[in-house]
Structure 1
Amino acid sequence: MKAGALIAALVVAAGAAWLALPQAGVPAAALAERPAAAPATAQAPPVRAVQAAGAGWLGEVPRSAPSPAWESMADARRHGDPHTPPLAPAALPGSGPSAAQLADPQAYRAYEARQEARVLAAFASAAELEVPRLQADVERARAAGISAAQIARVEEKIRRLQQLRREIAGPLPLR
């Protein structure tokens, strides 16, 4: 029974907070002066949305006021930049070199060679998937009438990816 009363109180509090929010684009003074019912024959002029300078509800900066660059940079430093791509997942425990490999230079070189081979294999695998997509893009571009210069750039990219993939597939140079 107490949980039901608590939920009801929270719903009422949330509703009251929502009703207390100012309407977007309409100043509070205009809301207070608005008559309860306007006659159907008289047309009132549209209310202009003018936001006052300074902080809005709960410290929000009004949309019409530009924010200084330092505020944007500080916000990005605290909360991150929404335009950055996601970070790579954290490495699994035990995926790094062991203590014995760190102690022995030859064992560590072998570990580095295996890691480099893994990276190159991942690149070759990604290139194998990307080349057909790029070739399909070239065909769609030709059908859409895209300029020959732009198509040539993508074809050059395809050629370089295929060349790198062939180089990776060949024997790796020894160090």
Structure 2
Amino acid sequence: MAVHSDVKKTAKAFVAASVLATVMSACSSFSASGPTPYKAAKSADAYGYSSVQLDDSRYRVMFKAGEDTPADLVQEYTLYRAAQIASEQGYSWVAVVKTDIERKANITQRVVKDKKNTLPPVLKEEQCTMSGCNDVAQPFEVSDSDLRMEEAKTQDVYYSIVARMGNSQVSTGDNAFEVQKVISRLTEIVNP
């Protein structure tokens, strides 16, 4: 009997852990609270940066962020990405020629833990020995019953710039930045 209850207990724990792992891995595709990190967008609808080359020395650099991302951080991410592109293309100056910002309503899903149940769940089962049978209660880790999907309305931020690149401040314009200075200054912000 004791072996059977151990198998039941192990099976229940395995199922709970599997469900939790599945739900937690699925949440990577959902919006997370907090600022959007600096990263490449994996698709057209994903959060992060992307870029399009307009001509030899001009690029449109875009960054999609969740509403929890401060506007100045989104601007710095975009300028940092423009400076990276300029550096990769062999340019030493980058200028912001045009900016555009747009907010779009979005419905996201988030995995949340219910706060109603603050105590760990308890597994009660009968364990029998040669002396007789007793009910035994054992706490176990979080189960899928503590997690739920929640929909929330958000305002995604779409920020884009047109960046002109060149090898002198004169060739790029009055509002030009030195590429290496931008990269040096923003590296700690972008990669904390």
**Both structures adopt the same fold (TM-score exceeding 0.5):** no
Q: Of the two structures, which has the highest relative contact order with CA contacts closer than 8 Å and spacing of 6 or more?
A: 2
The structure that is strand-richer by fraction is 2
The structure that is helix-richer by fraction is 1
TM-score, scaled to structure 1: 0.20
TM-score, scaled to structure 2: 0.19
Larger Rg: 1
